[in-house]
Chains A and B, each alone.
Chain A
Amino acid sequence: MKKKLLFAVLILLAAATAGSIVYDWVVSKTVTDDFFAMDTTVSVRYTGRVQQDEIDRIRAAVLHLDTDVLSRTSEKSEIAAVNRGHGGTVDRQTAAWLQTLRELENKSGYAFTADLGALTELWGIGTENERVPDDDEIRAVLAHIKKWNVDGTKVTVDDGAILDLGAVGKGIACDEIKNGLQKTKAKKAIAAVGGSVLLYAKDPNAVFRVGIRDPRGEVNDYAAILTAGSGCISTSGSYERVFTAPDGKAYHHIFDPATGRPARSGLQSVTVLCDSGLLSDALSTACFVLGCEKSVGLLQAYGAKAVFITEDDRVLTVGDLAGRLELTAERYAFAGEAT
Chain B
Amino acid sequence: MKKLIRPLDLVLIAALLLAGGGLWLARSRAAAGVTAVVLVRGREERRIDLTKVEAPYEIRLSTTPAVTLAVEPGAIRFSEANCRDRLCVKTGRLTRANDSATCLPARVTVRLIGKTSGSSVDAAVY
Contacts and interface: CB of A to CB of B under 8 A. Distances in A.
Contacts of A17: 16-17, 20-21, 24
Interface in B1-25: 3-5, 9-10, 13, 16-17, 20-21, 23-24
Nearest to A271: B125
Q: Shortest 6 CB-CB distances between A and B: which pairs? A: A17-B20, A195-B126, A211-B121, A213-B126, A218-B92, A219-B91
Most-contacted residue by chain A among B41, B91, B113, B124 (CB, 10 A): B124
B17 A34 contact: no
B54 interface: no
B5 A3 contact: yes
Contacts of B85: 126
A254 to B, nearest CB: 13
Interface in B73-123: 84-85, 87, 90-96, 99-102, 104, 107, 109, 111, 113, 116, 119-123
Contacts of A192: 123-124
A128 B84 CA distance: 9
Instruction: Assign chain B's interface to a size class.
Output: 35 or more
Most-contacted residue by chain A among B16, B100, B121 (CB, 10 A): B121
A245 to B, nearest CB: 16
Contacts of B125: 195-197, 210-213, 233-235, 271
B46 interface: no
Interface in A190-213: 190, 192, 194-197, 199, 208-213
Contact of A36 (B10, B41, B121): B41
B29 interface: no
Interface of A: 3-4, 6-7, 10-11, 13-14, 17-18, 20-21, 24, 32-36, 39-41, 43, 126, 128, 190, 192, 194-197, 199, 208-213, 218-220, 222, 225, 233-235, 237, 240, 271, 328
Contacts of A211: 121, 123-125
21 contacts: A3-B5, A4-B4, A7-B9, A14-B16, A20-B20, A21-B20, A35-B42, A36-B41, A36-B42, A40-B104, A41-B102, A41-B104, A199-B123, A208-B123, A212-B124, A213-B124, A219-B90, A220-B96, A222-B121, A233-B123, A233-B125
Contacts, number: 122
Contact of B17 (A13, A212, A271): A13
B8 to A, nearest CB: 13
A43 B100 contact: yes
Nearest to A218: B92
A21 B23 contact: yes
A21 B39 CA distance: 29
Nearest to B92: A218
A304 to B, nearest CB: 14
Contact of A237 (B10, B17, B126): B126
Nearest to B103: A41
A81 B13 CA distance: 68
Contacts of A6: 5
B104 A210 contact: no
Contact of B121 (A21, A225, A237): A225
